[in-house]
A and B are shown apart, each in its own frame.
Chain A
Amino acid sequence: MPPFARSGDFWSGLVLAALGTYIVVSARGWEYMGEDGPGPGFFPLWYGGAMIVLSLALVAGAVLGRRAAGPPLPMANLGRALLCWAAFVACIALMHLAGFIVAFALLTWFVIAVMARRPQRVALPIAIGAALGFHALFTWALEVSLPRGILF
């Protein structure tokens, strides 16, 4: 694997170049300049074009191995962070079915028991207490509606 393939700038530059291309292609489908002045395609065409140029400069910097090639892809500790994010996504998905209280209690339990490796006697009371506390604070005290699922 060439060294630039491990560079965060290389991959993020490619992603942004693709996004810039998408913006420019979309903008070309809209009016650029009409009788009343600039159309909806005017502004996106310019910033999309700038995005392509700059992101390709970033990619070129990484490939040519300049000092500005940026940090290597941050693989260390990535697992824990992504696990936390995945738990958050799962919590949101579960809310469709089980509602906020159950999903949030499970998320809290997961963070404390699994990620922070605390014993169940710590994780369970905090998880249940936090979920009920949120319900009491938001639903009763502040009258803010919490996400409801099919079951709860």
Chain B
Amino acid sequence: MEVFSGLLQGFQVALTASNLTLCVVGVVLGTVIGVMPGLGPSATIAMLLPLTFKLEPTGAMIMLAGIYYGAKYGGSTTSILLNVPGESSSVVTCIDGYQMARKGRAGAALGMAAIASFIAGTFGVVALMLVAPPLAQMSLAFSAPEYFALMVLGLTMVVLLAGESLTKAVLAMLVGLWIAGMGTDLFTATSRFTFGRLELLGGIDFIIVAIGVFAIGEVIGNMELEKPAQMIPVPKGLRNLLPTWDDMKRCRFAFLNGSVVGFLIGVLPGAGATIASFLSYGIEKGVSRHPEEFGHGAIEGVAAPEGANNAETGGALVPLLTLGIPGSGTTAILLAALVLWGFKPGPLFIQDSPQLFWGLVASMYIGNVLLLVLNLPLVAVFAQLLKVPSYAMYPLILGISIVGVYSVSSSMFHLGLLAGFGLLGYAMRKLDYPTAPLVLGLVLGDPMEKALRQSLMMSQGDLSILLRPIPSVLLGIAALLLVVPIFKKFNAVRVQVIDREA
């Protein structure tokens, strides 16, 4: 009953003119960046985050979340028409989506991608709404040692699935912890790693690192080569975009598969939408009566992964909002946004900020409907964006990045840092260091250190406090996950999953 009254309250919040407008802006922007290869939701959310400080936080969160899930809808358009994924989570859609387009069924593929995204995306929101409140209630029993162990487990899972080399993923995470540790220690007022610069006494703003590593690093990397591609035209008329009744019947299981797998994978930190889409594709092929059609334009091969990558959004928001643990680079930025606006994601978040939580949930129902409407009749309009030359886009991204950082600090020194982190982001890509662990280390570094020090204060320095039932189980799982790759067979499975993602 509480859920329904909460949802009702949420719709009252989400349906105000300003929040509805921000939801539309978010999903349209998300679709646009999803369609355009080379610019992801992490970079976009990071760039726009400083500009949301003048907005009311609920509306701002509705917009940023709209970008997050809207990008997943848009990503399929590029996969189907260009055989180039607009988003990493749409990689697997290329396999059958592009083959369908080559056989003259681009419309059905685009339509099915939108319908599957809508069904599974809505399933994800329903599951989020039902799972988050009881999970938050359960985690009320958590104190500093439990939180520390939970953060260690979250970081471990992200590290485990972030890159082929576990060593590099851990190193990236450690660099994130180091950056998070810069500034004045709040327990003792000692200044750490400030290089004698007054500007660093307050630490390095998360926004500078996120925009530098994601947006600037991405632009620099994309400047290396121009890659022209041949686009298959979008069929004209809504009728040509709708799958047939037979297509819908064939995809019944794919809708369910994508929804459930996507949500469950989303809840796990580190796994993410790309792995969810590959897993659901594999399951779909495994249970299909026509597995030989997969790879040659099977419509279930579009429905299952597109559904999974959208249901994942709802799943990913569960640990973010109820435990304060993000599972990916993008959710880490959303966590930072909530903290910057003065909220405290965790067990008390739903109780303390019902307007924001339920407003966000309701806006996601609305956003999914909007995206279905946008992605069916307007898909041809969005596809035209692929004709915008990249040389015109990159300076705009650089400009928005500069304005974003400057609007937070009004400091030229921080713009210099932005350039430095841009180079770091580019170097990490070139040298195969995953960026997600760095960002997660940065976001979780401070609360993790605080939780560890509070735990040890509680026990007067005795580490056995971490052997209480919940922390010991969580830390045990984390240790097991780090040890498992030592065994070649398990590591081969891990690398296979990551290779697919890459």
Contacts and interface: CB of A to CB of B under 8 A. Distances in A.
A138 B185 contact: no
A84 B220 contact: yes
Interface in B19-46: none
B423 A40 contact: no
B415 A92 contact: yes
B406 A145 contact: yes
Contacts of A68: 165, 167
Contact of A147 (B171, B398, B415): B415
Contacts of A39: 187-188, 190
Given A43-B181, A81-B221, A92-B412, A71 B431 contact: yes
Interface stretch (B330-338, B343-351, B374-382, B448-456): B448-456
Contact of A38 (B168, B406, B427, B453): B453
A84 B219 contact: yes
Contacts of A92: 402, 412, 415-416, 418-419
Contacts of B168: 9, 58, 70
B395 A107 contact: yes
A126 B394 CA distance: 12
A123 B170 CA distance: 43
A115 B389 CA distance: 13
B489 interface: no
A111 B175 CA distance: 31
A19 B178 CA distance: 10
Contacts of B412: 92, 95-96, 147
A26 B178 CA distance: 12
Contacts of A16: 171, 175
Contacts of B449: 43
Interface in B145-199: 165, 167-168, 170-171, 174-175, 177-178, 181, 185, 187-188, 190, 192-193
Given A9-B431, A44-B181, A111 B394 contact: yes
B460 interface: yes
B495 to A, nearest CB: 10
Interface residues of B, number: 60
Nearest to B191: A40
B54 A88 contact: no
Contacts of A34: 188
A112 B432 contact: no
Nearest to B403: A138
Contacts of B225: 77, 80
Contact of A115 (B391, B426, B432): B391
Interface size class of A (residues with CB under 8 A): 35 or more
Contacts of B457: 36-38
Contacts of A146: 403, 406
B170 A85 contact: no
Contact of B453 (A37, A51, A116): A37
Contacts of B418: 92
B430 interface: yes
Contact of A54 (B171, B223, B396, B452): B171
Given A111-B391, A111-B394, A54 B426 contact: no
A28 interface: no
B292 interface: no
Given A37-B456, A43-B449, A111-B391, A116 B422 contact: no
B395 A108 contact: yes
Contacts of B426: 81, 85
A96 B416 CA distance: 11
A95 to B, nearest CB: 7
Contact of B461 (A33, A57, A118): A33
A54 B224 contact: no
Given A19-B175, A36-B457, A111-B391, A85 B165 contact: no
A1 to B, nearest CB: 18
Nearest to B393: A111
B492 to A, nearest CB: 13
A81 B220 contact: yes
B248 interface: no
Nearest to B446: A43
Contacts of B73: none
Nearest to A27: B192
Contacts of A31: 188, 190
B496 interface: no
Interface in A105-133: 107-108, 111-112, 115-116, 118, 126-127, 130
6 contacts: A33-B461, A85-B419, A88-B398, A92-B418, A111-B395, A145-B406
Please name the 3 residue pairs, one residue from A and one from B, whose CB atoms are nearest each other, closest first.
A116-B391, A37-B457, A108-B395
